[in-house]
Amino acid sequence: MSRSYDPYGSRNPKRFYRSRTDKVVAGVCGGLADRFGWEPLLVRVAAVVLFFFMAGPLVIVAYVVAWVITPYAPLGYGSVSPEEDAFWRGVSDRPRATFGTIKYSFMDLDERLKNIERTVTSDEWRLRQEFRDLEKGN
C-alpha cells in the first residue's frame, strides 16, 4: 500500500493543512474549516469581516504567512477507517487532557487486574476449581 508523503510524520487528521478541494485562493480558510469542523463559508465570511472591520493588514499578513508555511493536505488525507476515525475523535487537542484520560484508563485497568489476581489466587477459587474438577470426573 503506497502512502503519500506526510511532512509531519503522522496520520493524525487533526493536523492543519491547506485544503486541496475546498479552496478559493490558497485553501487556508478551507483547511481551517476542515481542521476545526466548521463550515468553510463561515470561515471565509469571518476572514472578510475581520479584514474590513478590525485589522485589515494584519489579516492579510496572517493569511499570506499561513499560505506560505502550511503544506497542502497529503493525497488521500482524510480517508481513514471508521475505527481510526473514532480513535482520533477521542483524542483531545490538549496534551494534558489526553494524558489524564490515558492515565485514568490505565488506573482502571490496573484495578481490574488486581481484582482478577485477588480472585484467582484466593483459597475459595482453588476450592471451587477442585469441586469443578471432581464434577467433571463423575
Q: What is the pLDDT of residues 102-130, one digit of tens each?
A: 888 899 999 999 988 888 888 888 888 88
Whether residue 8 is found in the same domain as residue 51: yes
Instruction: Report pLDDT for 79.
Output: 57
Strand partners, 87: none
Q: Are both 67 and 122 inside the same structural domain?
A: no
Enter the C-alpha cell of residue 131: 469441586
For residue 85, being part of any structural domain is answered with no
Bridge partners for 18 per DSSP: 72
If one counts the domains in the chain, the total is 2
Sequence-separated (6 or more) residues with CB below 8 Å from residue 88: 12, 13, 14, 80
Residue with cell 485589515: 56
Could you tell me the pTM of the whole model? 0.46
Could you read off the pLDDT of 6-51 as tens digits, one per residue? 444 455 556 777 777 777 778 888 887 777 777 888 888 888 888 8
- State the residue range of the domain holding 130: 92-138
Which one is predicted more confidently, 97 or 27?
Answer: 27
Considering the domain architecture, whether residues 3 and 25 belong to the same structural domain is answered as yes
pLDDT number for residue 113: 93
pLDDT of residue 14: 63
Residues 102 and 75 in one domain: no
Q: Name which residue leads in pLDDT, 80 or 20.
A: 20
pLDDT at 66: 81
Asked if 70 and 109 sit in the same domain, the reply is no
Question: Residue with C-alpha cell 478551507?
Answer: 30
- Taking the C-alpha atoms of residue 87 and residue 18, their distance in angstroms, rounded to an integer, is 23
Residue 134 lies in a domain: yes
